[in-house]
Homo-oligomer: A and B are copies of this chain.
Amino acid sequence: MPRLTIHRLGMAHPANVSALAAMLDAGTLRAPHIRAVIGKTEGNGGLNDFTRGYFTQSLLLLLSRVMGEGPEALAARIPVILSGGTEGVLSPHYAVICDEPGDAAGEGLAIGTAFARPGEAGGTDQIARVADAVRAAMADAGITDAAKVALVQVKSPAGGPGMLLRSVAAGALGAGLALGDVPAGATPLDDLSIGSDRVSASAGVEVTRDEVVVFGTAPGWSDHLRLAVRPMADALDLAAVQSAFRGAGLTADPDVPAAERARIRLVLAKGEPDRTHAIRGHRHTMLGDTDLDAQRHLRGALGAVVAAVAGDGRVFVSGGAAHQGPPGGGIIAVFAVRA
C-alpha cells in the first residue's frame, strides 16, 4: 500500500539541497520513493530567472549521486516544478513528494505523474498533449474517475518571449479538458470565464516539455494526508484561503495556530493581477509598472495573504492564473497531515 508523504525543506540559496542530502544520508527518506518536487526559488520568476534551473541541476546532481542514475534520466521521470519569486514574506523552500510504503487499506490521497510529448507551446496541440498527460498521470495514480481528482499541477515550457502566459493558459486548458471542467475547442486566453477550479499551471524557460502531477483519491493509498482546494474570487479572498486550510483539517482562526503548523505539508496558490486594473472597484497599479513586473506584484500580495493564514512564508504562489479559478482570482490548495 503506498503512502503519500511530503517533506517540506528550506534552502539557503537556489543550489542548496543540503536538507534533502541530510535526510537521504540519514535514511529518513529513500531516494527511489521520490515522485515529484515542488518548490519556490528566489529569482524574479520571469524569462531571465535561472534560479529554477540552478536548483534543478543541483537537485538532480544529488539524486544522481545517491541513486547512480544519470541526471537526464531522473529529469525524465521526476517532475521538478518550481516557481521563481519569493517576494515579500515568501520563503524559499521545496516539497519532496514521495510514495513511501504504507499499510493502510481503503482509499487515500494518491499521486500520479506524466510528461507530455514535446511540441510547440501556446496552441491547441499543447492543450491536447497536456490533456493526454493528465490522463496518463491519473492512470499512474490509479484514479479512474475525474471527479476524484483534487488538483492537477502543470509546468510547461516558456515558449519564447511573449509566449509564457499563453503557454500557461494552454497547460491549464489541457488539464481542465482532461478533467471535464473545460469544453473541447477552448483556446488559450480567449474566453477567460472558461477554466477549472482544480488546476494550477505555470511555465518556465528551464522546462522542455509539459510536466504533470495529479493528486486525487485512489484505492490502495494510505489516508493520512488531506488535500483541500478552493477557488479564490480575487487576490483579497481571505475567506477562501481560510476555507482551504479548514478543509484540510486545520484550524484557521484567523490563522493556523503554532501547534498545528507542523501538520502543513504544502501550500500552493495561483493568482493573477486583475485585468480590469481594479480589485473590488479600486484601481491597482500592478499592470502598468515599468519597474516591477506584474507577477512579482501579484506574488508578493497574494503570497502574504496566504502566508498570514498559514502562519509562515512557505507558500508556493505563482502568477498567471488564466483558466485557473475565477478571472482576477485563482485557486488555493492545502496539504496537511490528519491530526
A44 beta carbon closer than 8 Å to chain B: yes
> Given A42-B285, A291-B291 in contact, is the A50-B14 Cβ separation under 8 Å?
yes
Number of A interface residues in the complex (CB < 8 A): 69
Give, as a whole number of angstroms, the nearest-CB distance from A257 to chain B: 10
Q: List residues 265-314 of chain A with CB under 8 A from any CB of chain B.
A: 279-293, 296-298, 300-305, 307-309, 311-314
Query: How far is B300's CA from A300's CA once the two chains are assembled, in angstroms?
Result: 6
Give, as a whole number of angstroms, the nearest-CB distance from A320 to chain B: 13
Q: List residues 209-265 of chain A with CB under 8 A from any CB of chain B.
A: 235-239, 242, 254-255
> Given A255-B238, A290-B48, A304-B300 in contact, is the A92-B285 Cβ separation under 8 Å?
yes
A99 beta carbon closer than 8 Å to chain B: no
Query: How far is B51's CA from A48's CA once the two chains are assembled, in angstroms?
Result: 10
Copies in the complex: 4
Measured CB to CB, the nearest residue on chain B to A237 is B308
Chain B residue numbers with a CB within 8 Å of A292 are: 87, 291-292, 296
Q: List residues 172-209 of chain A with CB under 8 A from any CB of chain B.
A: 205
A144 beta carbon closer than 8 Å to chain B: no
Measured CB to CB, the nearest residue on chain B to A300 is B300
A91 beta carbon closer than 8 Å to chain B: yes
Interface flags, A155-179, vs B, CB<8A=1, else 0: 0000001000000000000000000
List the interface of chain A (C-beta within 8 A of B). 10, 12-15, 42-51, 53-54, 57-58, 61, 86-93, 161, 205, 235-239, 242, 254-255, 279-293, 296-298, 300-305, 307-309, 311-314
Q: Name 17 A/B residue pairs within 8 A (Cβ), A-sorted.
A: A13-B205, A45-B290, A47-B288, A48-B285, A50-B54, A57-B58, A88-B284, A88-B300, A88-B301, A89-B279, A91-B279, A92-B283, A238-B309, A280-B312, A290-B293, A297-B300, A305-B305
